[in-house]
Amino acid sequence: MNKKEVLSQLRQAKSAHIQWRSYAQALVAGIPVEQDHVPVIHTDCKFGRWYYGHGQELSSLKAFSAIDTPHEMLHQIYMKIYKLLEGEDDRSTMQKMFGSKAKMMKQRQQEADALLQKMLSVSGTLLEAIAQLEQEVQAIPAEELASLY
């Protein structure tokens, strides 16, 4: 695989991450998210399929390992957001009888907003790691890159 193809795959994976992140932002904003855009395991999203698939060819590069942890964290945070906003009403019977559903929904929304801010921060870390990997791929001699594949 040549450098242009490797960079193209990397950039497509990066775009997939940005699109995926937008679904979490939409959910927190109150926009319904289709079932195929709900959070999945970090190895099953488009970015994860690249990273744990063809992307593994780049695993010997220094910047590659910095991607795994923030990527997995993003999925954990999105899952928390999803369960918080789309999950079942887990209040006790007494809370349901005497508690305010509106108050509970406001509290969940505030928690989701805070989680989204955390997710955006982690996303920034991931995007920085991807940019470093992209720079490393660009700097590597074509012969050396070809030996990775």
pLDDT digits (tens, 9 = 90+) for 80-109: 998 888 876 555 555 555 567 778 888 899
The verdict on pTM exceeding 0.75 is: yes
Report the CATH fold assignment for 3-148.
Four Helix Bundle (Hemerythrin (Met), subunit A) (1.20.120)
Q: Are 123 and 74 in contact (CB under 8 A)?
A: yes
Structure tokens at 77: 């945070």
Cβ atoms of 89 and 96 closer than 8 Å: yes
> Quick check: 65 pLDDT over 60?
yes
Domain extent listing, the chain: 3-148
Q: At what angle are helices 68-86 and 101-139 packed, to 10 degrees?
A: 160
pLDDT score recorded for residue 98: 59
At residue 20, what are phi and psi to the nearest 5 degrees? -60, -45
